[in-house]
Structure 1
Amino acid sequence: MGVSAAGKSTVAAALARRFGIDWADADDLHPPANVAKMAAGIPLDDDDRAPWLAAVGRRLADGAAGGGLVVACSALKRGYRDLLRDACPDAVFVYLDGSPRLLSARAAERTEHFMPPGLLDSQFAILEPLQRDERGIRVDVDDSVDDIVALAEKGVRGCDTDPGQR
């Protein structure tokens, strides 16, 4: 989880390889109207996100039933993560955290993504970092991908025994 350009897809794919399971990008589950809205530089609201989060939750639940799944998903608000946990109670969140300056620079370098860099501020504005009672781990993204993935893996594995792992 995290804002755009935090590396969610890259980290999710690498984590899935380490765990020997599949991964999915929640961006692929957005309805076309959401993609068009974001591509036009218009932030999504909670009504826009509701059907998308339901689809992500179903995908998580299906993945859990099939042996596990890593999903790259913004899940910016606690309420969004609660909806995902309702669908998949054993979900563990890896919060990929980075400074607005770093992530703005990364977003500006991307050329093949529907999410324009201008929407990053709107994501930071609504971001609710993981709370202490949420099952997950915070990982700073100002490091190499290998180091980020290693910390994420360690955190996820730790959550298997300690739901309050931070």
Structure 2
Amino acid sequence: MTPDLVALAAEVLSRARARGETIATAESCTGGLVAACLTEVAGASDVVDRGFVTYSNAAKRQMLGVTAATLEATGAVSEETAIEMAEGALRNSAASRSVSITGIAGPGGSEHKPEGRVCFALAQTGVPTVSLTCEFGALGRSAVREAAAREALQLLKI
């Protein structure tokens, strides 16, 4: 984890603290990197409630309530799945906001879902969930994971 990611995480925590918010993460391709960045900052425990690492589809279903129908219709790498992940993290935690990440860090991918495609969602109590997809490209596994963590932290900063 790079110093700029930790600095960004510190900014996220400071803003959340000022707003009285708590955070949960739901991560697939980043494998807990966002939660690790947040908890790298001393004192994060007053803001970070929990992190879900749901790498498999079964974990997405069991831990977050992502529906089999969504996974079948849109696949794990989709904004629809990201939305269900974020909303499931919010529902299954004491957090007031959550961010989710699901994507293809590489190597690999397909014509329809290329390497470097990552979908995100931000869910907040009493606010409609927002989602987005970033095409980071075939930067290599570590670089895609770091870029995805950075984007998720930026979403949490909003």
TM-score using structure 1 length: 0.36
TM-score using structure 2 length: 0.37
Give the strand-richer structure, 1 or 2. 2
